[in-house]
Structure 1
């Protein structure tokens, strides 16, 4: 039985290494709390909020940041800090146009080497491919992708149920979508010139009170109550060159971005290191004392370090078991009893209750659907 479980766990969509890499994108807190990004996006949010009469410290409540640290160009911030500040801003500001306002403040120069790589790309197609390839350098929030459909190139943005972010209510989701659309348009114009505006923007939600502000920012016709969130450009523009295109510099900067991306993968915070220990051996979950010993520190120090990154051993352990349960249900043939055993539950009843509490669904419902959309993907903004 144990050998059969190990074989099934090691199969599925690939090796344990691939599974661990996939789960690192799905476990809340593993990437969201890592301090590795420029404060430029947070600074734009705070600037706009202050101009609207909001208190900067109230905007940053719960982030562990101050207006002074956000203004420091050498401060490293996390995705969770931006998300917490955005949640504060949406709560404090009574109008729905905040995402548009913040998006209009963002420019390609605020994205460091990532932005420079976009500017000197040989073609618009290459710029868009580069944007997706190195998106993890841009303080990721939403998953994005682009496709060619007939005579259009179409950016596709996720619906709320596809996004793995904690406490993502409708107002915060709408803020992120408006921000994403606006940033895309602003950056594309920065790269190509003011002429390069979308042909059409489609939104899943009903027409909002600030539709006019959206139309002014996006400079294109808008459609609401649509099946997907889409931003379309003419496909014929893909071969056009950015204003600062330079093939030699583009290759140099692309290599630098690749190096930065690799560094991010290896320079993990304590949260990622604990996560790696929890996922190192399928079916074996070391307790906090064992992990602390592996990391050459006391369990008290480890708890303190995790708390500083906004998480705890128990939260990470629960998140890992939840993500693994979903992964096993959707990519292997393991039975519920075997999954329960692999995840350290004493019986399948306890596992079923825990899974229902985690996801709002039963294991059978998830297996029948083949996926659990709420926990599928986390991408970039």
Structure 2
């Protein structure tokens, strides 16, 4: 199949592109390479796909071909209402996988406009292109943050998500509603994936594992919010990608909601791990005891997440299998190589 992957220079998008190419698909990656975090990490991910930095830096219609003859990269904003339709018309995609978004819960308190531009306006443009250019299936990233302060554990897709506590969460809930509307009106299938705390090699430097590892290696204290009373459904990136790929490959696995080909799935490790246990796995891997700075809860954050993935298991035989310790070890191995830091094994 010919597949569009937006957010191709991002953490999950990079891994999805890599796996799709390994499986023989033709992939067009799209990203605007914004500076929410160090753009060099994004360029380095693209370099792994064979796209040199000088080509990745250019906006517009330039198509950069990577070391994979079946991969192309285009730098573009999803908000671009003229160029995005041109891309869809030119490439004739079978599937669209929208992983591009302005990420981060806490950043949404500082820069709310970017979430509306990318996550809502950009997503509307994707939906319009899917409608107008006969896309067979739209797979898109939602987030576990839509559950807000939900206290029912584990989180189920049947739970109410009407009370998001950050603009990021609200934008992801909006995506789900918009996708439902387009599936209902225009009949093309949409699948939303609520990701749960993804970690692993090539991960974002603003996320906990990267921040913790960086601080511990440098002998600096790590910030532990809510005095350590946090739990997360930490999910290794390869397990996430396996679920995404199965859904991309088999769009026939739909349960109709009335007359609408619309589905939402949780995609997580299906367990909840205490933050302090996660830190302990990292300490064990690094052979360094962390200096912990205990802090109160941050606005927009939640105490506990836990994914019920039973629907995904039933429909796609999906079962994550990477332990926390193994996943942390793989991240640390990548981190040490990427940053050229020697870490005792």
Give the TM-score normalised by structure 2. 0.31
Q: Larger % of helix: which? A: 1
Q: Larger % of strand: which? A: 2
Give the TM-score normalised by structure 1. 0.28
Q: Which protein is bigger by CA-based radius of gyration?
A: 1
Greater length-normalized contact order (CA 8 Å, ≥ 6 residues apart): 1
